[in-house]
Structure 1
Amino acid sequence: MLTATGVVAGYGEHTVLRSVDLTVTPGRITGLQGPSGSGKSTLARVVALLHPRTAGTVTVDGRSVTGSGYLAPAELRRRIGMVFQSPRAATDPRWTLRQVIAEPLGAARRSATRQRVAELAEQFQLTDDLLDRYPHQVSDGQLQRACLARAVALRPAYLVCDEATAMLDPSTTATIAQLVRGLADAGTGVLAVSHDRALLTAWADHVLDLHDLHADARTSWES
């Protein structure tokens, strides 16, 4: 499991998360709901080992993680993939979709990289002609599918989707949701973050409200 326990995090002197607990289970989609500015993205980045915390622990399959970003152990970072809200902000405009997907494969042999990209392209419904296009030449949905393929290129055990459908139309949102559902059905643990409760209710196995995860909210509820 991917767990956060007693996490406190924020930006400078501004604390956003106060003693938050969260668990992501293999083979299930955990939905995380809350209004804009509530700290959903911060928690997603903490769980994905991309943002530092000032207190609390994050564990990946029982291993406690110290540090974040490149200060976290590489083998644990590779256990978690992440898809961001804006596919255009998350990709290099100078790269083709083929290069975008291949980015995490880095030092792999060229033949192995080609084979893996081909597998991912088929899995995420990207044709050869799309792979050779640049971000400005494809739709947001096509680019987000490439970002999803990139996120799972190293076969992570967990996937964090931070408002991954927020910029997409309903039809494309349904496609992304279906693709992520397939990953979960194959055993990937997914954290799906959204402000859209209706989407999460249809998409996730269970939905958590960030407000209820804070220690002060739990104390108030218990008293």
Structure 2
Amino acid sequence: MSLVADGVSAGYDGRHVLDGASLTIEAGETVGLRGPSGSGKSTLVRVLALLHQPDAGHVTLDGERVTGVRHRVPAVVRTRIGLLFQSPRAASDPRLTLADLIAEPLHAVRHPRDAIAGRVAELADRTGLTADLLARRPHAVSDGQLQRACLARALANRPRYLLCDEATTMLDASTQALVAAVITAEQETTGLGVLVVSHDPALLSRWPDRVVDLEPRGD
């Protein structure tokens, strides 16, 4: 079981930022990804998350080659991958309460209402979000509290792989530790495969099982 980017080239508006990049995340493994700004780390994450169509190469998910992106991929396939962004505010609808934010992906695949409420309560407890916080909207909570809600949302559909794109950069040390602990516990329980993208050498030295370097595309 693995999530694989195989020879991926990708970019935006005709400008390539990735050229033949390959990466494998095995079930239960934590892989670190580092590289200088402009090397295409976030683009590779978006390709792996099935949000961005590569110009060349492909993504293989648990042995099956994936074609298409976003809603052109069946829900049963795309929900195997969770994504945690660097900026929780950019990734959150300001109109939603934290409870509704966590429930978003569960509504998207039409879980029963009672099951959604139970799953939100479970994830809120695991990420340290009280009922008071769940009733608030993003503007009324801290970055750390909002990122914990975003982590709960990323785990809502019990993905097999979690992609963390600089997800702890904006957090204080205690919240970084909580996020890492929740993800590690999920790995131990479910065999979750994790990608950690970071510029932080200390984080990359203590968390991933191995680290992959992504070099800038040569022109």
Residue deviations 1:62-92 (CA, integer Å, cap 9, x gap):
0100011122232211110101110011111
The 2-side partners of 1:92 and 1:72 are apart by 23
| 2:148 is the alignment partner of 1:145 | yes
Task: Check if 1:195 corresponds to 2:195.
Answer: no
- Cα deviations across residues 66-125 of structure 1 (Å, max 9, x unaligned)? 011122232211110101110011111111100000001112221111111111111111
**Map of 1:99 onto structure 2:** 100
Unaligned runs of 5+ in 2: none
- Normalising by structure 2, we get a TM-score of 0.94
Aligned 8 A contact 2:166 2:198 in 1: yes
* Structure 2 residue aligned with 1:38: 39
Q: Which amino acid aligns with 1:138?
A: V
Aligned-partner Cα distance in 1 for 2:45–2:201: 17
Considering only aligned residues, what root-mean-square deviation do their CA atoms show, in Å?
A: 1.4
Q: Which residue of 1 aligns with 2:163?
A: 160
- Alignment counterpart, residue 122 of structure 2, candidates 100, 119, 122: 119
Alpha-carbon distance in 2 for matches of 1:174, 1:156: 21
Q: Which residue of 1 aligns with 2:3?
A: 2
Cα-to-partner distance string for 1:39-71 (whole Å, 9 max, x where unaligned) = 100001101111110110101100100011122
Q: Which amino acid aligns with 2:51?
A: L
Q: Structure 2 matches for 1:48-87, cutoff 5 A?
A: 48-87=49-88
**CA contact under 8 A between 2:82 and 2:163: conserved in structure 1?**
yes
- 1-structure distance, mates of 2:26, 2:96: 34
Indicate yes or no: 2:161 matched with 1:171. no
The secondary structure found in structure 1 opposite 2:179 is: helix
Question: Is 1:211 equivalent to 2:212 in the alignment?
Answer: no
Q: Which amino acid aligns with 1:68?
A: V
Range with greater deviation from structure 2 (190-199 or 81-90): 190-199
- Matched pairs, number: 214
Query: The residue matched to 1:173 in structure 2 has which SS?
Result: helix
User: Which residue type is aligned with residue 194 of structure 2?
Assistant: V
On the 8 A contact 2:36/2:215 being kept in 1, the answer is no
Letter in 1 for 2:25: V
The percent of aligned pairs where both chains have the same amino acid is: 58
Counterpart residue identity of residue 213, structure 2: D
Q: Which residue of 2 aligns with 1:220?
A: none
TM-score, length-normalised on structure 1?
Answer: 0.92
In the alignment, which residue of structure 1 is the partner of 2:111? 108
Match of 1:219 in 2: none
Would the aligned equivalents of 1:181 and 1:203 in 2 still touch at CA under 8 Å? no
Match of 1:122, SS?
Answer: helix
Code of the aligned partner of 2:96: W
1:96 and 1:143 map into 2 onto residues whose CA distance is 10
Q: Separation in 1 of the partners of 2:201 and 2:51?
A: 25
